[in-house]
Chain A
Amino acid sequence: MSTMVANNKRSFGSTLWDYLTTVDHKKIAILYLVAGGFFFIIGGLEALAIRWQLVKPMNDFVSAGLYNELITMHGTTMIFLAAMPLIFAFMNAVVPLQIGARDVAFPFLNSLGFWLFLFGGIMLNVGWITGGAADAGWTAYAPLSTTSPGEGVDYYVLGLQISGAGTLIGGINFLVTIVNMRAPGMTYMRMPLFTWTAFVASALILFAFPALTVGLFLMMFDRLFGSGFFDPNMGGNSVIWQHLFWIFGHPEVYILALPAFGIFSEIISTFSRKRLFGYSAMVFATVLIGFLGFMVWAHHMFTVGMGPAANSIFAVATMAIAIPTGIKIFNWLFTLWGGNIQINTPMLWSLGFIPTFTLGGMTGVMVAAASADYQFHDSYFVVAHFHYVIVGGVVFALFAATHYWWPKMFGKILNDTLGKVTFWLFFIGFHLTFFIQHFLGLMGMPRRYWVFLEDQGLDLGNAISTTGAFLMGLGTIVLLYNIVVTSVKGEKVGSDPWDARTLEWAIPSPPPFYNFKQLPLVRGLDPLWIEKTEGRKGMTPAEPISDIHMPNNSFLPFVMSLGFFIAGFGFIYQKYDLVWLSLVFIGMGIALGAMLMRSVKDDLGYHIHKEDLVKEAKE
C-alpha cells in the first residue's frame, strides 16, 4: 500500500484529521497514551501542590477550600483519567497483536470509547475555570457531595458518567475481541498473561462499572433534580452511595492492578529468558482475584457501623485475596530464579515492583483486620497503603510498559541510561514520600486535613514526604526528556529488539496498519519463542495471502462524544435557569443524530488487495 509511504510526509492538518477519525487500535493506543499522560501530569502537579502545602506546619500555600479541590481532583484524575486510560493505551497497543488479530472486534466503538473518556475528563476539569472543581473527596460521599455548593461535584458526576460510559464500551470491546478474534491455535491457555489479565480486567469493568453508573445517576438526580436517594430527611440513605461507590470502587483497584501484573509477567519472563513459571497457576490466580474482588468492597466501610458479623465476613474475604496475590509474587520470583537475567529499564521497574507491592499487600492485610482498621481508618496509614499498591503496582507497571513496548509502538527504543535515571529518581522519591506516611498515620495524622500543628512529631516526616514527591516529579521530567530525545535522535529498531517471546514481536515495529499480512499459526505458549528455538525467523502463516478487510475511518465518535459533552453543561446549569435546557436538547440532538447517521448509513469498509500486499513485500 502506498498510503504507508504517504503517511510520513503528511501535513499537520491531515495528521490531526487522521487521529480525530481513526479506528485503528494502534493509533487509538497512542491517543490514550497522550491523553492519559497529560492527565497524569495534571494529577502529578496537583499532588505536588498538596505536598507543598504540607511541607511545614500551618502552611498557607493554598486555602482550605482549594486544598479540598486538589485532593479530590488528584484522586479522581489519577484513577479515572491517568491510570485507566494508560492501561487502555497498552491494552489497545498490545492485546490485538498478542492474540494475532488485525484489530479489535469493534473498531468504531474503540474510537467512541476514547473520545467519551477524553470529553468526560475535560468535563471533570472544567470546574477549575468556572469557580471551583469537585471538593468532596474522590469518593464523593453523601451528604458532603450532595450538599457541596457550586457546580464542582456536578462536573464530577457528569464527567465521570461520560468517561465511565467510554470505559464500559472499551471493556466490552476487549472481551469480545479476546473471545472471538484469537489467531488459529491461540487457545485460552496459550494466551500471554497480559492478554489474560486484560481479559479478566475487562470482565471486571463489565460488572463493576454499572454500579458506578447507577450511583452517579442517583447522585445526579439528588443534586440537580431535587430527589432524595441519599437524604435521610426524605427517606433516603446516604450509606447506599458508599455501597454503590465501593461495589464499583474495589473491583476498580483490580481493573488497574491485574493488567499491571500482566505487564510484569511479560517483562520478567522476557528478560529472564524463561517461560513464565507456573503459567496455569498465574491464570488461575488472575481469575480468582477477579472473583474475590467482588466480595470485599465493604472493607472500605468498616467504621460505618455495619455490625461485627458483616465486618468479619468482609475482613476474611479480603485477607483471602492475599493468597492468589502471593501465588503471583512467588511465581515471578521463580521465573527469575535460574534465569539469564538482563537488567534494563523495564526490568528495573519490575524488580522494584516486587518488594514495593509486597509491602502494600502487607499493609493491606493489616487494614483488612476490621478491629485494627478502626485505628487506621482515615489516617495517613491508609494513604500510604493505597499509594504503595497503586503507585508501586500500577504506576510502576505503566512506566515499565512504556519502556518495554515503546519500540513496538514507535519503532525506537527509549534511552536506557535516562530510563534508569527515571527509575532511581522515582523509586527513591516514592519510598521517601510514602514509607514515612505509615508512621505519620500511626501517630494519628488524619487524611484530607489541609494543615497540621507544630511540634506534634509530624514536622520532619511531612518534610521528608514532600522531598520525595519532588524527586518523583523530577523522575517524570527525565522520562519526558527521554521521549523527546528518543523521538528526535533515536535509531530505528527491528521487529524484535528484546529477543522476546510473544506474537507482537513477530511483526515490524511499528506494525503495518493491518498488523498481520497472514494470520500466524500459534503452536504453543510464547509462540514466537517456539519458532525461534526451532530455527525459524518468524511465525508460520496459517493462511495464504489474501484480501484484507479493513474498517473505514469515522468522525462520528468524536461528534457523539461532543454532543454528550455539550448536553452535560445543559444538565448542570439548568439548576440555575431552565434556559440552559436548550443545551441539553442541542447536545443530545447532536449525539442522537450522529447515532442515527451511523445506524442508517451502511459502512462496509474496504479491502486491501492481495496484489498490493505482494507488491509491498517486494519493495
Chain B
Amino acid sequence: MAEKTSLHPAQLDYEKQKRKEEMKQQVITFALMIIFTIIAFSMVIAELNKLFVIPVIFVLAAVQVGFQLYYFMHMSHKGHEMPAFMLYGGVFAAFLTILALAALVWW
C-alpha cells in the first residue's frame, strides 16, 4: 500500500472513519446472522407448524445470503454493478426454472 503514505491527512481521517463504519456494520450483521440461526434452530426444536416454519427459514436464509454478499463479500462497495447484474440475472433464470417446474410438472 504505497499510496497510503501520500494521502492527505483529511483523506486519511475519512478513510479511517469509513473503515470503522464498515467494521461496525460487519459486527452487526454477524450478530444478526447468529441470531437468525438461533431462531431457525429454536423454531424447529419448538416443533411449530411446518407450514409456518419452512417459509420463515427460507426467508431467513435469503436474508443471510444477502448479508454475506453485501457486507462480507463487499458487494455494497462501488464497482460491483456488473457482478450484481449477472448474479440477479442468474437468480432470475433459476427462479423461473424452478417456478415453472413446480407449477407445471410437480404441482
Which residues of A line the B interface, CB within 8 A? Answer: 175, 179, 203, 206-208, 211, 237, 239-240, 243, 247, 294-295, 298, 306-307, 310
Contact = CB atoms under 8 A, between A and B. Distances in A.
Contact of A203 (B89, B100, B101, B103): B89
Contacts of B104: 239, 243, 298, 306-307, 310
Contact of B97 (A211, A237, A239): A211
Contact of B93 (A175, A207, A240, A243): A207
B92 A237 contact: no
Nearest to B97: A247
Interface residues of B, number: 13
B86 interface: yes
A307 B103 CA distance: 11
Contact of A298 (B82, B89, B92, B100): B100
Given A206-B86, A206-B90, A207-B89, A294 B96 contact: yes
A449 B90 CA distance: 39
Given A179-B82, A237-B105, A243 B100 contact: yes
Contacts of B97: 211, 243, 247
Contact of A243 (B82, B86, B90, B101): B101
B90 A207 contact: yes
A465 B82 CA distance: 48
A254 to B, nearest CB: 13
Given A243-B101, A310-B104, A175 B96 contact: no
Given A175-B86, A203-B86, A247-B97, A294 B105 contact: no
B92 A294 contact: yes
Given A243-B97, A243-B101, A294-B96, 14 more contacts: A175-B86, A179-B82, A203-B89, A206-B86, A207-B89, A207-B90, A240-B101, A243-B100, A243-B104, A294-B92, A294-B93, A295-B96, A306-B104, A310-B104
A309 to B, nearest CB: 9
Nearest to A211: B97
Question: Of residues A203, A207, A294, which shows the largest number of chain B Cβ atoms within 10 Å of its Cβ?
Answer: A207
Nearest to A188: B82
Contacts of A207: 89-90, 93
Contacts of A243: 97, 100-101, 104-105
Nearest to B91: A207
A278 B100 CA distance: 35
A310 B90 CA distance: 23
Interface string B58-101: 00000000000000000000000010001001101100110011
Contacts of A298: 100, 104
9 contacts: A207-B89, A237-B105, A240-B101, A243-B101, A247-B97, A247-B100, A294-B96, A298-B104, A307-B104
B92 A240 contact: no
B93 A239 contact: no
A495 B97 CA distance: 47
A409 B93 CA distance: 36
Contacts of A239: 104-105
B90 to A, nearest CB: 6
Contacts of A211: 97
7 closest A-B pairs by beta carbon, nearest first, are A207-B93, A179-B82, A306-B104, A294-B93, A247-B97, A310-B104, A239-B105
Contacts of A206: 86, 90
